Structure 1
Amino acid sequence: MDTRLDLFTNPVLTKFIKHLNSAARVATTVGVPLTTLELVELRVSQINGCAYCVDMHSKDLAHHGETSVRINLVATWREATVYTEAERAALALAEAGTRIADAAGGVPDDVWLNATKHYNEEQLGALVAAVAGINTWNRLNVITQQPAGDYVPGQWG
């Protein structure tokens, strides 16, 4: 697969990405565990078929000490016993927030209410921001056909 546009040399996209990266950092500042945010980003990337982000987030999770079992089972988290109730709530919110066209009215109330049992208002904001941000990254990578497999953990900071 050939890349259609280089995200890091296209003048418009480099400006956009600079702001996107700044916005994404906000989600890491309010107490949602990094592992939870990475699991959310991995799951959303799987749903969207973004190979670049699946590669990145699975490698970042491993780099931060996450087990291969939890990384590999995130696509089937509902049937897996290796996630906490808080992680399950975050993953459910991530899936519903990614598949908003599939449910009339967007994210179902029961999914949102379950998330509120595990996260405070700032943390919910961080999860919403993380879901919105990774959906944006997925679209950038899929539209421009960014290749996967070469990501090295830590290369982006």
Structure 2
Amino acid sequence: MIIDVPEGSDPIGYVWGEMVPGIGVAAAGYSLAVYEHSTLGLREFEAARLRIAQINGCLFCLDWRTERDGIKVEPEFVDAVTKWRTSDALDDRARLAAEYAERYATDHHGINAEFWARMFAQYSQAEVVELSMSIGSWLAFGRLNRVLGLDAVCVLPGH
């Protein structure tokens, strides 16, 4: 971690809440809203989220699994997302979510009409906007945590 955190302070709480409260608290609210208000199915949500986590290299994000009504994706899902182009474990929506996340993060100028035609064959315009906002959140905040080294000091409950 490259930020000095006072002894006894939670690194995430300190950096996100105390160091820059005018920005960090709003950012945390945005980050939480993606989880609390998503209308996307769990598999496409997690396919996009995990693909961004893989691209960012955020240790915390790679270890996290979103839970809905006591359900999480199966452990093998991470490998399926890594191999989104060829995996039989992903349906069309999850595969597109992983592809979109990768393109959004690594080649947003290369998103073309052919891709949008495939995307809108599976997703409504509102779902595309929601997925775009979610991917933006994960890209920005997962990368922030990775760059500052916060991802190595975040601890999941039960770990």
Letter in 2 for 1:124: V
For 1:3-152, list aligned pairs within 5 A: 3-5=1-3, 6-10=11-15, 11-24=18-31, 25-26=33-34, 29=37, 31-56=39-64, 59-60=65-66, 64-100=71-107, 105-146=109-150, 147=152, 150-152=155-157
Q: 1:28 touches 1:34 (CA, 8 Å); kept in 2?
A: no
How far did residue 109 of structure 1 move?
A: 2.7
- For 2:35 and 2:23, locate their aligned partners in 1 and report how far apart those are by CA, in whole Å: 18
8 Å contact kept, 1:46–1:54: yes
Letter in 2 for 1:53: C
Residue 7 of structure 2 corresponds to: none
* SS of equivalent residue, structure 1 residue 142: helix
Superposition misfits of 4+ residues, deviation over 6 angstroms:
none
Task: Give the aligned residue type for 2:85.
Answer: R
Uncovered stretches (5+) of structure 2, i.e. residues with no partner: 4-10
The two structures have a TM-score, normalised by structure 1, of 0.78
TM normalised by structure 2 equals 0.77
Which shows bigger deviation, 15-24 or 71-80? Answer: 15-24
Structure-2 separation of matches of 1:120 and 1:137: 26
CA contact (8 A) 1:93 1:112 kept: no
Task: Return the offset for 1:26.
Answer: 4.9
SS at match of 1:130: helix
Between 1 and 2, higher relative CO (CA 8 Å, sep ≥ 6) is seen in: 1
Q: How many pairs were matched up?
A: 146
2:83, 2:34 → 1: CA distance? 28
Query: Identity rate of aligned residues, in percent?
Result: 18
> Using the alignment, how far apart are the partners of 1:142 and 1:18 within structure 2?
18
Segment of structure 1 superposing worse, 122-131 or 18-27: 18-27
TM-aligned CA deviation for residue 74 of structure 1: 1.2
Give the deviation of 1:79 after TM superposition: 1.3
